[in-house]
Amino acid sequence: MNVIFLPQGDWLGLSFRLLLAMLVGAVIGLNRQRGGRPAGMRTFTLVAMGSALFVMVPIQAEGDSSFAAINALSRTVQGVAAGVGFLGAGLILQRAPKTKRSGRPRVSGLTTAATIWITAALGAVIGCGLWQLGLIGTFFTLLTLSGFKRLQRIAWLRQSWERLIAWEAKTLPPDAEEEDDD
C-alpha cells in the first residue's frame, strides 16, 4: 500500500496525521513564543494543521486515478508554500523600524517567517503520511533555532572580546606596552 494514500474512512490514520502536525506546530511555536517572537504557539500550530489538511484533501479524493491525485497533491503543496510565503512576508514588513545610523529600514522577522514556512512544509509532509520525515525535520528545525542561536552568541562574544582588546591596545600609552620588571 502507498504510504501517502489512506483507505477511505480511515479516521484513525487521518486523526494521527492531524494530531502529529498539531504537536509539531505547537512545539516549534512554543520555541518561538518563549523567545518573544511575533508569532507563537497558536500561529505555528494552525499553520502546521492547515498545511496537513490541505494536502490530505487530494489524498482522500484519490478517485479513479492515483496520477490525478498526485498531480492535485503537487499543486496543493505549491499553493500552500506560496500562501504561507505571504504570511511570512507580513511578519517581515511588520518589523521594519528605521535604524538610527543609516536611516534605512532594519530587516527583522526573517527567522520567524522562515520558521512559519518550514512549519507549513512539516505539516504537509506529515499530512502526506511521511511522519518520520516530519519528526526528523522538526528535530533539525529546533536544532537550528536553538543551537545556532547559541553559536551566534559565542561568535558575538568572541568578536566583542577582540574589539575590546583592540580598543585597549589603541588607548594604552606608548611606554605602557614596554614595561620592564626590573
pLDDT in tens, 3-59: 666 666 778 888 999 999 999 999 999 999 888 887 889 999 999 999 999 998 887
| H-helix or E-strand spanning residue 31 | helix 11-34
| Least confident stretch, 45-54, 59-68, 70-79, 167-176 | 167-176
Q: Note whether 75 and 48 are within 8 A (CB).
A: no
Q: What is the pLDDT of residues 121-164, one digit of tens each?
A: 999 999 999 999 999 999 999 999 988 777 777 777 677 766 66
Domain positions in the chain are: 11-170
Least confident of 64-73, 96-105, 147-156, 161-170: 96-105
Q: How far apart are CA 179 and CA 157, in angstroms?
A: 29
User: Any idea what the Cα angle at residue 151 is, between residues 147 and 156, rounded to 5°?
Assistant: 145
Please give the C-alpha separations between residue 14 and each of 47, 90, 98, 147, in angstroms, as whole numbers. Answer: 17, 31, 47, 33
Inform me whether the pLDDT recorded for 108 exceeds 80: no
CA distance linking residue 164 with residue 168, whole number of Å? 6
Q: Indicate the SS3 state at residue 173.
A: coil
Residue 106 pLDDT > 70, yes or no?
no
Specify the pLDDT at position 130.
Answer: 92
Neighbours of 172 (CB within 10 A): 10
pLDDT value for 79: 85
Average the pLDDT over 60-76 and give the result.
73
Q: How many angstroms separate the CA atoms of 79 and 50, rounded?
A: 12
Angle at alpha carbon of residue 77, lines to 73 and 78, rounded to 5°: 115
pLDDT at 127: 93
